[in-house]
Chains A and B, each alone.
Chain A
Amino acid sequence: MIEQSLQKAVRIDALKPIRAQEKLQVEVVVANNHDQPVFVIDRVRRIQYDEGEGTLHLWFSDHRRDLENKGPLKMEFSVPKVSAIDKGRSRTIKAQLPVQMTRLVTHADGTFHLEALDLTGARQVAVHVAVDSVPFYRSQKIALSKQLTGWGAEIEARADVQSAAAVESSKESPGQSSASKARRR
Chain B
Amino acid sequence: MTIKIRQTPYERSGGAHVGPYTVFPDEVRAQLGVIAMAGSSELPTTLGEDPDPADPSFTVVSYDPGPQDAATPAGRVRQLLKDLVDRSASINLFGLGPDFVWEDGSTLEGSAGGAIGTWILYDTKNCDGDGRWVRGTDGNEVCTTSAGILLHEMGHIYLHHPSGFDSGALDADERAAVGIENDLREAQGLVKRDPNHWHESSCGCPSDDCCIVASVATGSPYSTQVHRLRRIRDSELRNTRFGHHMLDILHNEYYSFSVPICRVMVADDQAKQNVSDWLLEPLMSVLQIAWTYARQPDDPDQLGRLIAEDHQKRLGIESEPRFAWDLLQIALHQTALGDSKAVEMVELDPGTRRIYEILAESLPYCPHIRWGVVELMQIYARARSRYQDTLDEQEVGLWLRDALDEWLGGIPLDYVTAQMTPDDLADDLQILASSLFVRPQVRRMLGQQLSGKTELDPYLKMRLQKDGYTYD
Contacts and interface: CB of A to CB of B under 8 A. Distances in A.
B166 A45 contact: no
B119 interface: yes
Given A67-B165, A104-B101, A76 B174 contact: yes
A121 B130 CA distance: 28
A103 B362 CA distance: 47
B110 A37 contact: no
B252 A2 contact: yes
B414 interface: no
A122 interface: no
Contact of B101 (A102, A113, A133): A102
Contact of B119 (A35, A112, A117, A140): A112
B106 A45 contact: yes
Contact of B107 (A45, A82, A84): A45
Given A37-B259, A46-B105, A98 B98 contact: yes
A65 interface: yes
Nearest to A109: B117
Contact of B15 (A46, A67, A112, A118): A118
B99 A36 contact: no
A65 B105 CA distance: 9
Nearest to A99: B99
10 contacts: A36-B362, A37-B255, A44-B107, A47-B105, A76-B111, A80-B110, A81-B133, A84-B209, A117-B101, A138-B200
B278 interface: no
A112 B10 CA distance: 11
Interface string B288-302: 000000000000000
A80 B202 CA distance: 7
A102 B12 contact: yes
A143 B200 contact: no
Interface in B1-49: 10-19, 21
Nearest to B200: A79
B203 A103 contact: no
Interface in B99-127: 99-107, 109-117, 119, 121
Contacts of A117: 15, 101
A79 B110 CA distance: 7
Given A45-B106, A78-B200, A80-B202, 18 more contacts: A35-B365, A46-B106, A49-B105, A65-B106, A69-B163, A69-B165, A74-B161, A75-B111, A77-B199, A84-B259, A111-B116, A114-B21, A115-B12, A116-B17, A117-B101, A118-B15, A138-B200, A140-B234
Interface residues of A, number: 61
A185 B256 CA distance: 45
A156 interface: no
Contacts of A48: 105
A26 B117 CA distance: 36
Given A46-B106, A102-B12, A81 B260 contact: no
B463 interface: no
Interface in A29-84: 35-37, 39, 43-49, 59, 62, 65-69, 71-84
B255 A75 contact: no
Nearest to A71: B103
A80 B106 CA distance: 12
